[in-house]
Amino acid sequence: MSATAASLRNQFPLLAAAPDLHYLDSAATAQIHRLALDAMLHHEATRRANVLRGTYRLAEAADLAYEQARAIAARFLNAGAADEIVFTSGATASLNLVAHAFGNTLKAGDRVLISVAEHHSNFVPWQMLRERTGIELALIPLGADGQLDLAGLPELLDRNCRLVAVTHCSNVTGAMTDVATLVAAARRVGARVLLDGAQAVQHGPQDVRGMDVDFYAFSGHKCFGPGGVGVLWSRGELLAAMPPFLTGGGMIASVTNEVATWAEPPQRFEAGTPPIAQAVGLGAALEWMMGLPWARIHATEGHLCEMLITGLQCIPGLRLLGPQASAQRAPIVSFDIPGLHPHDICQVLDGHRLALRGGHHCAQPLLAALGVEACTRASIALYTDEAEIEALLDGLDYAVKVLT
Amino acid sequence: MSLKMNEADALYQDAIKQFAQAAHGHGQLAAAALVPIGEAKLDNPLCGDRVRMQVAVSSGRIDAIAHETRGCLLCRAAAAVLGLRAKGEDEAGILAAVDGLQGLLQHDGATPAAWPELAMFEPARAYPSRHRCILLPFRALLAALRSAPASDAAD
């Protein structure tokens, strides 16, 4: 193991305690960093109180920690202001929030453009919106190279298109979306752009203003933070124009017997007690990430991805699902070995301490477009090293023998 | 590097692979040949596996069974066991087999005497997420049985 990978790995308590574990499922859930755990424990042990409600000093300390986490998330995304960060329970909740709060401003005949490569979390909410309001839902197809095929954008993006909501990075193929092309096309017809950043955030801080998008959603557990917390970012003026999604405590300006009025964003979209300690833990994880040498990490991840794909292509019959190593991609690699079911492959690999995901990865329309019902996925993170890729390739060689 | 066998591989003993390969009962029942026919299609939401099960029922007993199973080795082997053994059983008999199978998977239960092949699934006890794979064809069969029109009325 290289010194860098070993030193990174040892910062993750679970991995440090299990040196023989090859955790290659970070696209499902990344391991949690020690700093995030420490921050949550410290918060719960010294500052536990509800936020934005109490006036005693303990509550003020909790408020401060929570709002500091919001400011960190804003810096991580290069947002214009901390108040543009809405804490949610995860990317799924963030996407549902947009599908309701923004979606409910749409009317029958308006178009929402998604892609066939979406996680169900950015697919089903729009299908439900179509049922509620009669919007038209259109799909960007998959190209032969595994990337989104943007050639048809001029036809898909007409004046009725109000929102383009696509993944920043496929959770199955690792394909990165060509955001610049998409945003330019969307702007021409005045459509808003939402990126599902669930997979992209694990591979470094993002620049929502640089990308010129309108919404960005991600989960804490995908970027070395805790589960149960996520982020929705949007421009201040957009958030201010949207009605709430969930309602209840903490999101109102006033309530009478007859009517309620809404708090300003972001509180308008944080009904009920938010995941306070989780937000603090996420803040610690994001702060840690912002201090990392990302150019070097990307080079290592790219090298491991290429090493894996090269090795996979030596397995007879194996079909790589998605872009080649040289493409614009994240190190998420899915494949199909005809005649072998991903569940069985993953079960045999587990016997050799290799943790991979097999199944449809909550992306059944994408798998249908790729012509498979299920596939096996290995995802590489910053704590992965060459020995783990070699172990996976050995394990696959063994699995093929056991299962045939 | 060559890897050594371990307990996870016990799942993939020859019996399971042979049953999955044999695919007893695979196919569809001829539409007009046997009535009444019950049918069900069930998915495993974890992986997209799917079993389509058909049964011809007479006086409450299975006269014929056919299935189309898209799934892992465990799911396909379980469907093949049904293809081999389910004929002649009624709903109570299938429920008894399911109870026995669940006992085998969840604790040290005995293999049901009428279903000796179920013993091959015992190594799956350590892997609860795979129990659904094995049980999917059984659940599909029960759903198909319950969807069949009352056989006495059709006899």
Nearest CA-CA distance, residue B8 and chain A, Å: 5
| Per-residue pLDDT tens over the stretch B103-142 | 999 988 888 888 999 999 999 998 998 999 999 999 999 9
Q: Which pLDDT belongs to residue B1?
A: 52
3-state secondary structure (DSSP) of residue A295: helix
Domains in chain A: boundaries: 3-24+293-403, 37-290
The active-site residue out of A161, A169, A346, A362 is A362
Compute the distance between CA of residue A76 and CA of residue A289 in angstroms, rounded to an integer. Answer: 8
Domain A37-290 of CATH type 3.40.605.10 = no
- Tell the CATH superfamily of the A3-24+293-403 domain: Aspartate Aminotransferase, domain 1 (3.90.1150.10)
Chain A CB within 8 Å of residue B14 CB: no
Q: Which pLDDT belongs to residue B11?
A: 86
Q: Which pLDDT belongs to residue A3?
A: 56
Nearest CA-CA distance, residue B5 and chain A, Å: 9
A362 given a catalytic annotation: yes
User: pLDDT category, B34, cuts 50, 70, 90?
Assistant: low
Q: Sort out which chain A residues have CB atoms less than 8 A from B49's CB and list them.
A: 343, 373-374
Chain A CB within 8 Å of residue B71 CB: yes
Contact A108, A134 (CB under 8 A): yes
Q: Is 60 exceeded by the pLDDT of residue B58?
A: yes
Nearest CA-CA distance, residue B95 and chain A, Å: 26
Q: Sort out which chain B residues have CB atoms less than 8 A from A343's CB and list them.
A: 47, 49, 71-72, 74, 130, 133
DSSP A169: B
Contact check, Cβ <8 Å, A347/B127: yes
Chain B CB within 8 Å of residue A359 CB: yes
Q: Which pLDDT belongs to residue A255?
A: 94
Contact check, Cβ <8 Å, B74/A344: yes
Contact B101, B12 (CB under 8 A): no
Contacts of B4 (CB under 8 A, 6+ apart): none
Q: Is 60 exceeded by the pLDDT of residue B8?
A: yes
Q: Sort out which chain B residues have CB atoms less than 8 A from A359's CB and list them.
A: 46-48
3-state secondary structure (DSSP) of residue A329: strand
Compute the distance between CA of residue A166 and CA of residue A114 in angstroms, rounded to an integer. Answer: 5
Q: How far is CA A308 from the centre of its chain?
A: 23
Chain B CB within 8 Å of residue A350 CB: yes
Contact check, Cβ <8 Å, A347/B48: no
Compute the distance between CA of residue A10 and CA of residue B97 in angstroms, rounded to an integer. Answer: 48
Domains in chain B (CATH in brackets) are 13-154 (3.90.1010.10)
Terminal-to-terminal C-alpha distance of chain A: 32
| Digitized pLDDT (tens) for each residue of chain A, 404 residues in all | 555 777 899 999 999 999 999 999 999 999 999 999 999 999 999 999 999 888 899 999 999 999 999 999 999 999 999 999 999 999 999 999 999 999 999 999 999 999 999 999 999 999 999 999 999 999 999 999 999 999 999 999 998 999 999 999 999 999 999 999 999 999 999 999 999 999 999 999 999 999 999 999 999 999 999 999 999 999 999 999 999 999 999 999 999 999 999 999 999 999 999 999 999 999 999 999 999 999 999 999 999 999 999 999 999 999 999 998 888 999 999 999 999 999 999 999 999 999 999 999 999 999 999 999 999 999 999 999 999 999 999 999 999 999 99
pTM: 0.93
Compute the distance between CA of residue B12 and CA of residue A174 in angstroms, rounded to an integer. Answer: 31
Best probe of the A interface among B2, B4, B11, B12, by most A CBs < 10 A, is B12
